[in-house]
Structure 1
Amino acid sequence: SHHPGRIIAILVDLQSEVSEFHARISAYYHDLQAGQKQIVAEVIVLETGRMGADHLSGAALPLLLPDLPVFFWCTVALTLIHSQVKTLLRYSDRLILNSAEDDYSTRELCKSLDAILQWRRQCHVSDLNWSRLTMWREAIAQLFDKVQYNRFLSLLYEIEISYSDDQLSSQVLLLAGWLSSRLHNVSALPRGSDDTTVFFGHRSKQTAIKIRRKKMQQVDGIYKVKLIAEENEKAVIFTVTARQNGGLESVIQIGSTFYPATFMHSLPMSEAQCLCNELDFMEQDEVYLQACQNVIEYLHEN
């Protein structure tokens, strides 16, 4: 990372009965001129067993550096309900999660998102899974940047998200939650689902989005988003598609006329890159939290 700081990694072996903490300390530096070295990061690794999990805060809090922001990277969101984790979070400025790493049941996802929304009052919240959706969100928003296309926002009557996976992922739900929170005028579609289609929506705002699953070779996750409107009996279709070589392609069709495609070139970010990017932000991401709220409402109703 380009941010100097102290990194405290806590490893709890739930298969071990050990209660003591074992610590390892490392320092990383950059070479400067004239043989000088500048330390850019200290890494402290704390290891313990299941019995030591009840003393996490006592081991970690004395190691925090005063007057520096504290980022809490929680690799499993469901651990937020642990009392020691709650104590650590009270001393944190930002909570960083990666909801893509969790193999959720619907019930567990509700619990996890509820915990995230509860902690918004204590600290700011980030989700690396949400960060990976940035390119999709930007590409969709840019479709309506031009004045001549902006009017179609109020005419949308169908939105379709297509993805390739064995099950409905948290990333697909987050994108649907974001769309439903930004596009308040989308007409309600029939509720219900089958093996390949889910209708995302909540009755309170009368919005719904169609989510289609189609398993494809060499394709994982979201691969297409389609927004459909109608004007003067002409179909207006905005389509964003993932390209095989990386990046996204956006196409606009009005009636039988196709307009030149636009491209957004970007390679998928690694988890380390996403994490480093989150260290640049200190403000609360209210758009992400609203997307989470919409997902919770959908899951509770279905």
Structure 2
Amino acid sequence: MITELTHTTAGRINKALTEGRANGSGGSGMVLTLVVVTDEENAHDAVKAATEASREHPSRILAVIKRPARGSRRRGEARVDAEVRIGAEVRIGADAGSGETVLLRLYDEAVDHAESVVLPLLLPDAPVVVWWPADAPAAPAEDPLGALAQRRITDTHAVDEPLRELAARAASYAPGDTDLAWTRLTPWRSMLAAALDQVRATVTSAVVESEPGNPSAELLARWLTERLRVPVEQRATDGPVVTGVRLYTGSGEIRIDRPVGVTATLSITGQPTRTLALRVRSTAELIAEELRRLDPDDAYAAALPTAVTPPSPPRANPEPEHA
């Protein structure tokens, strides 16, 4: 069931939700509320990803789509339009929707007071997660919408200057903050930890290879610096994203390479080279991972402020990508 409301209020939206639940949508049984804060350009892809993630974590989705006055158009009276989608039969493209999705389009003055529209729509016993797919506030925890949430998700990879944005995330960090640039590293961190368990030697230095300015590579280098207490160099490659990590020990080298494709090679001195699954995951998979936990991510917090060596340019005669 889809209900469209124009020039509406939070009260009317809640009434539509209540009527939908009475027809068996089960929205009140959702495990959490995911608030997606975006603009019109990114709204479709963001809601689609949130909907796919809700298959694993049943969630109410509130999409706050901001449409401020632009250019010469004068700011007008505050206005809220809503599209209330109820029931598992609701679809976005070819993807089954969550039990309850509300698209909130905020115009003009209403853009500055999004929390007053969202707050009445929250359920008292359900945790709240806020996700900014693109442009996030400088201090997510201090943002009026971010202040409503137990977890706040940003994505430094989606902005024009990722490393500057990462510096802002470090300066404003509060428990509950996380970033999809960090979430993308989960397979890399798991593989590196497993590889180190196979080597009885101390790591003396490390190298992270990636496309220039990649925030995941920056965070990976910071994490290695913080965990291993060794110098970590960054080297620029053609990408895409993180393409390799090398750990140097007294007994040889541990090396993971993923220049292209969905697999990587793990090379450890004195052992056969192995092929590992290491594909680039979709945004929906990243959001689903973040929804599995609502407690603060201490590893992310520890990696954020750690300084690392600036990336060096590609070598004139680079070594082969695979050992």
Shorter-chain TM-score: what band? 0.7 to 0.9
2: CA distance, partners of 1:132 / 1:160: 18
What is residue 213 of structure 1 aligned with on the other side? Answer: 236
- 1:273 matched residue in structure 2: 285
Q: 1:93 aligns with which of 136, 147, 150?
A: 150
The separation in 2 between residues aligned to 1:212 and 1:42, in whole angstroms, is 45
Letter of the 1:6 partner, please give it: R
CA contact (8 A) 1:243 1:249 kept: no
- Corresponding position of 1:28: 87
Change beyond 3 A, Cα 1:30–1:277 = farther
Cα gap change, 1:298/1:12 in structure 2, threshold over 3 Å: closer, same or farther?
Answer: farther
Which of 26, 30, 47 is the matching residue for 2:105? Answer: 47
Give the residue type in structure 1 aligned to 2:215: S
User: After superposition, where does 1:228-239 map in structure 2 within 5 Å?
Assistant: 228-231=248-251, 236-239=252-255
The answer for the alignment partner of 1:4 in structure 2 is: 58
CA-CA distance at 1:109 after TM superposition: 3.3
Deviation of 1:65 after TM superposition, in Å, equals: 1.1
Query: How much identity, in percent, do the aligned residues show?
Result: 24
Identify unmatched segments of 5+ residues in structure 2.
1-53, 91-96, 311-323
> In the alignment, does 2:181 pair up with 1:161?
no
Structure 1 residues 4 and 113, CA gap change in structure 2 (3 angstroms): same
Of the candidates 222, 225, 229, which is equivalent to residue 242 of structure 2? 222
What amino acid maps onto 1:98 in structure 2?
Answer: D
Give deviations 1:166-215, integer Å, cap 9, x for gaps: x322111100011011102x2xxxxxxxxxxxxxxxxxxxxx31111133
Residues 1:144 and 2:203 aligned together: no
In the alignment, what sits opposite 2:18? none
- State how 1:1-302 maps to structure 2 within 5 Å: 1=54, 2-16=56-70, 17-18=75-76, 19-29=78-88, 40-76=98-134, 78-81=136-139, 86-104=143-161, 106-115=163-172, 117=173, 119-120=174-175, 124-146=176-198, 149-150=199-200, 152-153=201-202, 156-163=203-210, 165=211, 167-184=212-229, 186=230, 208-215=231-238, 219-231=239-251, 236-242=252-258, 244-253=260-269, 258-295=270-307
Is contact 1:78-1:111 (8 Å) kept?
no
Deviation of 1:268 (Å): 2.2
Post-superposition offset of 1:243:
5.7
1:228 partner letter:
Y
Q: Deviations over 1:13-34 (max 9, x none)?
A: 2344342111111123169xxx
The letter of the residue matching 1:222 is V
Work out whether residues 12 and 48 of structure 1, in 8 Å CA contact, stay in contact via their aligned partners in 2. yes
CA contact under 8 A between 2:232 and 2:309: conserved in structure 1?
no
CA contact (8 A) 2:206 2:247 kept: yes
Deviation at residue 265 of structure 1 after TM alignment: 1.5
Q: Does the 8 Å contact 2:129/2:149 carry over to 1? A: yes
1:228-250 CA-to-partner distances (Å, cap 9, x unmatched) read 1225xxxx111111164412211
The runs of 5 or more residues in structure 1 that have no matched partner are 32-38, 187-207
What CA RMSD, in Å, does the superposition of the two structures yield over aligned residues? Answer: 2.6
Q: TM-score, normalised by structure 2?
A: 0.69
Q: Aligned to 2:305, what secondary structure does the other structure show? A: helix
Where is the strand percentage greater, Structure 1 or Structure 2? 1
On the 8 A contact 2:58/2:98 being kept in 1, the answer is yes
Counterpart amino acid of 2:58?
Answer: P
Instruction: Give yes or no for contact 1:78–1:112 (8 Å, CA) kept in 2.
Output: no
The residue matched to 2:250 in structure 1 has which SS? strand
Please tell me the residue identity of whatever aligns with 1:27. I
